[in-house]
Amino acid sequence: MRIIKTAVLWLVGLVAAVAAVVLGLQIIYKLSPVALSPETVALDERAAKVPVVTENGYRAYGLLAPKDVDPVRYGRCLVDAQNSQREERQALYKASPSMTDKAAYEAYWKPFTDRAEVAARGCAQGGAYVSLPKALADMRIKPGMTAAQWQALATFTPDPLIVARAEAVWAGDARRLGAAPDAPMIQFANLIQLERWRIARAVLAWDSGDRPQAVTAWKRSINDWVKSADDTLIDAMISAAALSQVMIGMQDAVSRSERIDNSTAEAALTALVPVESMPQAVADSIVTEWQSMSALIKSMPTLPSQLYLTGQGDPGVLVRALDHAAKLTYDVNDTLNRMGAANVQTQRSVLAAARGKPVAQSEWEGLTTGCASLGKWEYLCLPLLRNPTGRILVGVNAPAHAGITAPDYADYGVRIADVRNLAAATRLTIEARRLALSGTALASFIAGAPAGMRDVFTGKPFSYYPAAKRLRIELHSRSSVLGDKDKGYELAL
């Protein structure tokens, strides 16, 4: 019995000693706040130059506004209404029923949804919305399209008013409606549908013999989408999808030609040049991720409370206790510094991936939550460290183990490299048709293709099947345009 009592006393004493050490360390941390790092300050300065809300964002949001309603005014009206409701929701959000009670949760949010519909009708001023031909949504541009399919797609002419509005969007500046995670988003689908029509019209112009017009149209499309690729990460991915479709049109039209003259070939190759700026564009777009997440953290000093309680109903005594502990040990600046370091590394990894290079695990060393050598027991030492809550939030151990504020973005870079691979194949096709190569001469040219006309990832020539006259392209990330990465795609040549 005495042994048990002694063991219990030792155990209680050990727990008390650990608690005392933890408490003492946390008091020291609290009394010695962390300053923002130069890296974080530099990110803040870069983010401050990125527009958050733009007139062009309103214009894009109002693309399908009624004919007599200015799209910018419509977009501004709708965004103002949505932002007003968002502020109201934020004030009431903690009172929201638990998402596990689906009926109560939906009933709680229904009034907001209904009011959003009323606001939209008011912004439309009673007018009827303009619309795009349904076929532009149903018909997709994919590798292997026939001349007849291109011709059919080109015949679905949109309302000239929508085309003019879209041209203004493409020619304008950044398209943003806010940096908050729940800020309104423009309908990219409408712009993509209009782009399909533009591409098909260019293919039709090429097939009819007006090659300068076709190349000029493709060049305009490429410039339009590359220009907006660094607005946000979503813009970069939408641009990648649009560019893929533009180049499918170019490559297909050129491959069906026996020969193209030097001036046409040079113009087509020049049109493709901006695609090579996409790696830097997607890396720069990560700054808007910093803009959003850092703004969220700076505006919410009780962030741990929000994470534990928001939309979850009554959290219970234990969760409330953890919440209070998290708030007491939370250090905003330390969290921002860790998130800033992760953001900069993300930019580097995305840039490397977009250039077709592998992202080494070693590049993420130094961004751990702490005590990484403990493996799965790593989090046991967090109470002894500064800002344990912030470390968990950022929580970067490697790209595959990203935290809430530093997700894994490397795959987005891979998608850009896949787009550049398509550009390389398109260049190869243009050069092959300029030289009017066929048969063994074509196969030999592909095998010894110059830089810029080879696989971006390996630097090796593309696979070519002379009997089928098909060029085989490996796909490293799934694409809504090009297909699944395990299957890749083929181009006629």
Tokens of 378: 């790593």
- Model confidence over 411-443: pLDDT tens digits? 899 999 999 999 999 999 999 999 999 999 999
- Report CA dihedral (356, 362, 364, 370) to the nearest 10 degrees: 160
pLDDT of 209 higher than 70:
yes
More reliable by pLDDT, 4 or 308: 4
Query: How many C-beta atoms lie closer than 10 Å to residue 399's C-beta?
Result: 21
**pTM for this prediction:** 0.86
- Report CA dihedral (120, 124, 129, 132) to the nearest 10 degrees: -70
Tokens of 352: 């490397």
3-state secondary structure of 440: helix
Distance from chain centroid for Cα 440? 42
Task: Report pLDDT for 244.
Answer: 97
Distance CA 18, CA 16 (A): 5
**In the chain, how long is the greatest CA-to-CA distance?**
101
Contacts of 326 (CB under 8 A, 6+ apart): 304, 305, 308, 388, 389
Which residue type sits at 412? Y
Selection from 251, 281, 220, 156 nearest residue 481 by Cα: 251
More reliable by pLDDT, 270 or 320: 270
> Taking a C-beta distance cutoff of 8 angstroms, is the pair 334, 341 a contact?
no
Tokens of 409: 């973005």
pLDDT of 372 higher than 80:
no
Selection from 218, 221, 242 nearest residue 141 by Cα: 242
Start-end of H helices in 273-365? 278-299, 303-309, 317-329, 332-354
pLDDT of 398 higher than 50:
no
- Model confidence over 95-105: pLDDT tens digits? 566 777 778 77
Which residue type sits at 107? A
Tokens of 89: 């929701």
Cα distance between the two ends of the chain: 88
Contacts of 411 (CB under 8 A, 6+ apart): 353, 477
Q: Please state, in angstroms and as integers, the Cα–Cα distance from residue 181 to each residue in 86, 290, 291, 346, 484, following that order.
A: 11, 11, 10, 19, 29
Task: Report pLDDT for 285.
Answer: 94
